[in-house]
Amino acid sequence: MSAAAEAPGTGQAIDTGRVIVVGAGIAGLYAALHLVPQPVLVISPEPLGEGASSAWAQGGIAAAMGPGDSPADHAADTVRAGAGTVVEAVAASVTAEARDHILDLTGRGAPFDRDAQGGYVLSREAAHSRPRVVRVKGDQAGREIMATLVAEVRRTPSIQVLEGVAATGLAVEAGRVIGVTVTAADGHSGPVTLRGTAVLLAGGGAAGLYAQTTNPARVRGQALGMAARAGAVVADAEFVQFHPTAIATGEDPAPLATEALRGEGAALIDRDGRRFMVALHPDAELAPRDVVARAVFAAERAGLRPALDTRACLGAAIDAHFPEVASACRRAGIDPVTGPIPVTAAAHYHMGGVEVTGPGRSSLPGLWVVGEASATGLHGANRLASNGLLEALVYARRAAADIAGGLGAVRKVAPVALTLPPGGRPVDPAAVAALRRLMSDHVGVLRSAEGLTTALRAIAALEQAHPTPAFLNMTAAATLIAAAALLRRDSRGGHFREDFPDPGAATRSRLTLAEALALRDSL
């Protein structure tokens, strides 16, 4: 079937002749641009620039750009924050490339904050030994970088974007990934298989599986689940990072009070005005995220109403320096100039994902995975702040080069004309809500064998009652996280077991979905 052919019925397939990129966040778009002039098809459930976690990233990109800093120091901070399970060679190579990606994005038009001398304005965030987070308009890095990449993708003839379309599965032949199955993003269509010259999965993380999350509603572990259901090996699934300063306004997802606020001197206080982090860690508010998240969670559980106080360090300047945070506060009737900002610990980033080696290659031939859906070994058990976007950029470019190197001469292909057939069954919102409550209640900041067992059994019941492909991707990701957490009988970084509070061996976990399901079925 030609690249321009339509797929009129269920079960039809289109040979696109293109590299298929699933996901349109920073990782997906950056990879697509680095694949030029190879023909690329980007699959995006939302209009470009919307619905991606990347666009919500407030802090920025960590890079050794300042005087006295170095990639080696950045790597050392990454290893230290990662609680013993960072792959040091990965940390060294990623931090060594960081500066080049800042310059690349600058050349593409990303409006990074600059000082009067033209240098990059740098913020300090938790567990960094010095300021090294390159930012845009204070707290709008993700949005502005995305806007830059979207504009470039829109004007690149070799990149075609299919918007309003969601991937629900990987097509595998003879053990090799040869394409993806797609439906309408709202679930109201039958499936069509798109065959490609390679598949790059950049569909985001799994923190949206939790009831309290900072992630967009569209991102609920589907990319991880899709790859796992096809047989990919998953690493570090138990390590979920909870951001300690999501703004507690009741919004879903929760708006974020960027860590850069604490870098500016904002203090975490309880209802009595006491700075509770001072007694818990030498770095107080700038302790590693897992430490701060557990402290905020404990204060909230004790009824102490944790809050972030920016009055002394920023005052009225918060509106100009951190407009996204100020806007979220005022939307909820909170004035950060005159009062503290109520905060809660919310699921923010998944350190685990599809295990990849080298330039983003998964265990399945034909499948590359980049961004939060992957597990490169950079983050260990606790991601260093603002290393997420950096990892996405580094591996997107590496994967693009690796894919292009195996494609040979550039072929001219026609645009894909996709007609989705009628049919389909959308995911039941009540089932998704039940799954998210399970994850927050039993696989959250604090875990135990009893809670994890309860979660796995309940996930199995939800899965049986709602066997749509999109929901099965979510339950696969949830099962992997809970099963890996049950198997790790110790506490490390973002994984804390109340029944095993001490750290054990500093090892990474590896798990297939088949192994996780076997464990679940044995309970």
Please give the positions annotated as active site: 289
Partnered with residue 165 across adjacent β-strands are: 184
Residues near 469 by Cβ (< 8 Å), separated by ≥ 6? 168, 169, 181, 183, 191
Q: Could you tell me what percentage of the chain is helix, strand and coil, using 3-state DSSP and rounding each to the nearest 5? A: 35, 20, 45
SS3 478: helix
Neighbours of 359 (CB within 10 A): 18
Helix (H) or strand (E) run with residue 43 in it:
strand 40-44
Q: Give the whole-angstrom CA distance, residue 327 versus residue 332.
A: 9
Burial class (CB in 10 A: 0-12, 13-18, 19+), 121: middle
Kindly report the length of the chain.
523
Q: Among 154, 222, 167, 210, which Cα is nearest to 16's?
A: 167
Neighbours of 115 (CB within 10 A): 9
Residues near 216 by Cβ (< 8 Å), separated by ≥ 6? 51, 52, 53, 56, 204, 208, 253
Positive or negative, the CA dihedral 482, 485, 487, 489 is negative
Q: Among 471, 453, 454, 470, which Cα is nearest to 462's?
A: 471
Six-digit token string for 42: 């980007």
Whether the Cβ atoms of residue 42 and residue 32 lie closer than 8 Å to each other: yes
Q: Among 82, 2, 419, 38, which Cα is nearest to 198's?
A: 38
Whether the Cβ atoms of residue 260 and residue 268 lie closer than 8 Å to each other: no
Whether the Cβ atoms of residue 413 and residue 39 lie closer than 8 Å to each other: yes
Partnered with residue 275 across adjacent β-strands are: 269
Whether the Cβ atoms of residue 506 and residue 95 lie closer than 8 Å to each other: no
Six-digit token string for 100: 């080049």
Q: Give the whole-angstrom CA distance, residue 222 versus residue 167.
A: 9
Write b or e for each residue in 367-376: b if 16 or more Cβ atoms lie within 10 A of its Cβ, otherwise e: bbbbbbbbbb
Across 74-175, the runs of DSSP E, i.e. the strands, are 122-123, 133-134, 159-163, 165-173
Across 274-366, the runs of DSSP E, i.e. the strands, are 307-309, 341-350, 353-355
